[in-house]
A = this chain, B = another copy of it.
Amino acid sequence: MYPQSLQVLIERFRQLPGVGEKTAERYALSVVDMSQEDAEQIVQAIMDVKKKLTYCRTCGNLTEQEECEICADPQRDHKQIFVVQSAKDVLAMEKTGEYHGVYHVLNGLISASKGIMPEDLTIDALVKRGKDASEIILATNTTMDGETTAMYLDKLLTEQCPNVLITRIAHGLPFGGMLDYADEMTLAHALSDRRTMGSKE
């Protein structure tokens, strides 16, 4: 058995997502081998994140201010709202450079199996700000929970924000994807969401 303090650190590392016994052991032993300074920097970084980071009061994105950079940017189209599951998705979308509206981060998905209900998410805030929007784009992942959440939001927003266009991001083949590798659901979506090409569009 490892010394007590090492054993405790292994258990703590196991709380990180997807980390098993062997990986936690490797991480803990790497901390042992680390310089005192490097270890202190990790500790400081964890404490800083807990102290400084908060959720944007408008969209729920992660920020160190009251409002995130995107919501505070007057250049962006504040009437177009892109609804995602988590802050990670905001970053992924921002990397494309293709979107110039604002976001709304649900901080989760409705999930019967995990016991996550609509009231656990930032849906109230979305309905409230959604009333002034021109378009709300539902961009939850195409998983079971993502689809459920999108359907729930579509119904709710159509009722509550009747003058707003509610859209869903397109489903289909990933770029570079091959037909024979795609699953049936993806192919079915790619077919039903097909569009005319080029000059005919």
Residues on A facing B (Cβ under 8 Å): 1-6, 8-9, 11-13, 15-18, 23, 25-32, 34, 36, 38-39, 41-43, 45-53, 62-64, 86-88, 91, 94
Q: Is the CB of A3 within 8 A of B52?
A: yes
Q: Is the CB of B29 within 8 A of A86?
A: yes
Q: Is the CB of A87 within 8 A of B26?
A: no
Q: A17-B30, A49-B32, A53-B32 are in contact. Are A91 and B2 (CB under 8 A)?
A: yes
Q: How far is the CA of A11 from the CA of B94 in the complex (A)?
A: 20
Chain B residues positioned under 8 Å from A39 (CB to CB): 46-47, 49-50
Which secondary structure characterizes the binding site on chain A? helix
Q: How many chain copies? A: 2
Q: Is the CB of B64 within 8 A of A4?
A: yes
- A22 (CB) vs chain B CBs: closest residue: B88
Q: Is the CB of B62 within 8 A of A9?
A: no
Chain B residues positioned under 8 Å from A27 (CB to CB): 16-17
Question: Which of B6, B25, B52, B53 interacts with A49 by CB under 8 Å?
Answer: B6
Could you list some 14 contacts between A and B, CB below 8 A?
A3-B63, A5-B49, A6-B62, A8-B48, A9-B48, A9-B49, A12-B41, A12-B42, A12-B46, A15-B34, A17-B30, A31-B49, A32-B49, A39-B46
Q: Is the CB of B26 within 8 A of A17?
A: yes
Q: How far is the CA of A2 from the CA of B87 in the complex (A)?
A: 9
Chain B residues positioned under 8 Å from A47 (CB to CB): 39, 43
- A61 (CB) vs chain B CBs: closest residue: B3
Q: A43-B43, A46-B39 are in contact. Are A16 and B30 (CB under 8 A)?
A: yes
